[in-house]
Structure 1
Amino acid sequence: MSFKVRGQRVAIIGGGEEALNKVRLIAKTTAQVVIVSRQIEADFSGFAVEVHERRFVPSDLDGVVLVFVAEQGADAELAKATARARNIPLNVVDVPAECDFYTPSIVDRAPLTVAISTEGDAPVLARLVRARIEAMLPPGFGKMAGLAGGLRKRVESLIHTGPARRRFYEALVSSPQVEAAVAASPIAGRFAAEVLLEQHQTAGASAGIVWLIGAGPGSEDLLTLRAQRLLQQADVIVHDQLVPDVVVQMGRRDAEQISVGKAKGHHSFSQAQINTLIVRLAGEGKKVARLKSGDPMVFGRAGEEISALRKAGIQYQIVPGVSAALAAAADTATPVTLRKVSSGFIMATAHGADDSDLTHWAALAQAGLTLALYMGKSIASEVARRLVAHGASPSTPVGIVVNAGRPQMTTYSGNLSSLIAWDDILADGPAIIFVGEAVAAGDWSNAAQLAAQNFKVA
Structure 2
Amino acid sequence: MNYLPIFVNLHSRPVLVIGGGIIAKRKIDQLHRAGAYIKIVASNICNEIKELMEIYHIEWISTKFDPIQIDSVFLVIAATNDTVLNKNIYLEANIRYKLVNVVDDKLNCNFIFPSIINRFPIILAISSSATSPILVRVLKEKLEALLPKNINEIAIIAGKWRNKVKKKFFSLSDRRRFWERIFNGPLVNQILKSNSKEVKLILNHSLNNQSNYTGEIFLVGAGPGDSGLLTLRALQVMQLADVVLYDNLVSKEVLELVRKDADFIFVGKKIGSHLFSQKEINAILVKLALQGKYVVRLKGGDPFIFGRGGEEILAAKEAGIPFQVVPGITAATGATTYAGIPLTHRNYSQSVTFITGHYHLENNLNNCVALILKGQTLVIYMGIITATKISNLLIYKGCTKSTPVAVISKGTLQDQKVLIGTLEQLGSLAASVSTPAIIVIGDIVNLHNKLSWFNDKVKYKPPKSSCIINLS
The 3-state SS of whatever aligns with 1:273 is: helix
Contact 1:105 1:126 in 2 (8 A): no
The reply to whether residue 269 of structure 1 matches residue 259 of structure 2 is: no
Shift of 1:403: 1.7
Cα distance in 2, alignment partners of residues 107 and 353 from structure 1: 57
Q: Which amino acid in 2 is paired with 1:200?
A: Q
Give the equivalent residue in structure 2 for 1:331. 338
The structure with the largest alpha-carbon Rg is: 2
TM-score (structure 1 length as normaliser): 0.65
Return closer, same or farther for 1:146/1:406 CA change in 2, 3 Å cut-off.
same
Q: Which amino acid in 2 is paired with 1:259?
A: F
Return closer, same or farther for 1:128/1:389 CA change in 2, 3 Å cut-off.
farther
Mapping of residues 425-440 of structure 1, within 5 Å: 425-440=431-446
Contact 2:245 2:296 in 1 (8 A): yes
Mapping of residues 247-396 of structure 1, within 5 Å: 247-396=254-403
Cα distance in 2, alignment partners of residues 110 and 358 from structure 1: 62
Give the equivalent residue in structure 2 for 1:209. 216
Cα distance in 1, alignment partners of residues 133 and 336 from structure 2: 32
Identify unmatched segments of 5+ residues in structure 2: 1-7, 10-28, 31-44, 57-78, 80-100, 105-111, 467-472
Give the equivalent residue in structure 2 for 1:179. 184
Give the equivalent residue in structure 1 for 2:52. 87
Return closer, same or farther for 1:328/1:389 CA change in 2, 3 Å cut-off.
same
Identify unmatched segments of 5+ residues in structure 1: 3-64, 67-79
Q: Structure 1, residues 191-247: CA drift from partner, whole Å, max 9, x if none?
A: 87666544522x2xx332222222222344444444344334322121113324454
* Alignment partner of 1:449 out of 457, 461, 464: 461
The reply to whether residue 115 of structure 1 matches residue 125 of structure 2 is: yes
Return closer, same or farther for 1:182/1:413 CA change in 2, 3 Å cut-off.
farther
Shift of 1:441: 0.5
Cα distance in 2, alignment partners of residues 128 and 276 from structure 1: 49
TM-score (structure 2 length as normaliser): 0.63
The 3-state SS of whatever aligns with 2:170 is: helix
Equivalent pairs, count: 373
Shift of 1:370: 1.6
The reply to whether residue 419 of structure 1 matches residue 416 of structure 2 is: no
Contact 2:384 2:431 in 1 (8 A): no
Cα distance in 2, alignment partners of residues 414 and 431 from structure 1: 15
Return closer, same or farther for 1:190/1:168 CA change in 2, 3 Å cut-off.
farther
* Alignment partner of 2:238 out of 204, 212, 231: 231
Return closer, same or farther for 1:97/1:184 CA change in 2, 3 Å cut-off.
closer
Cα distance in 2, alignment partners of residues 267 and 312 from structure 1: 24
Give the equivalent residue in structure 2 for 1:127. 136
Cα distance in 2, alignment partners of residues 269 and 310 from structure 1: 21
Name the Cα RMSD after superposition: 4.7
Give the equivalent residue in structure 1 for 2:38. none
Return closer, same or farther for 1:112/1:207 CA change in 2, 3 Å cut-off.
farther
Q: Structure 1, residues 236-286: CA drift from partner, whole Å, max 9, x if none?
A: 121113324454344344322211131122211111111111111121122
Shift of 1:406: 2.5
Cα distance in 2, alignment partners of residues 242 and 271 from structure 1: 16
Q: Which amino acid in 1 is paired with 2:438?
A: I
Return closer, same or farther for 1:393/1:149 CA change in 2, 3 Å cut-off.
farther
Shift of 1:442: 0.9
| Sequence identity percentage | 30
Shift of 1:435: 0.8
Q: Which amino acid in 2 is paired with 1:262?
A: K
The 3-state SS of whatever aligns with 2:431 is: coil
Return closer, same or farther for 1:179/1:432 CA change in 2, 3 Å cut-off.
same
Return closer, same or farther for 1:351/1:399 CA change in 2, 3 Å cut-off.
same
Shift of 1:449: 0.8
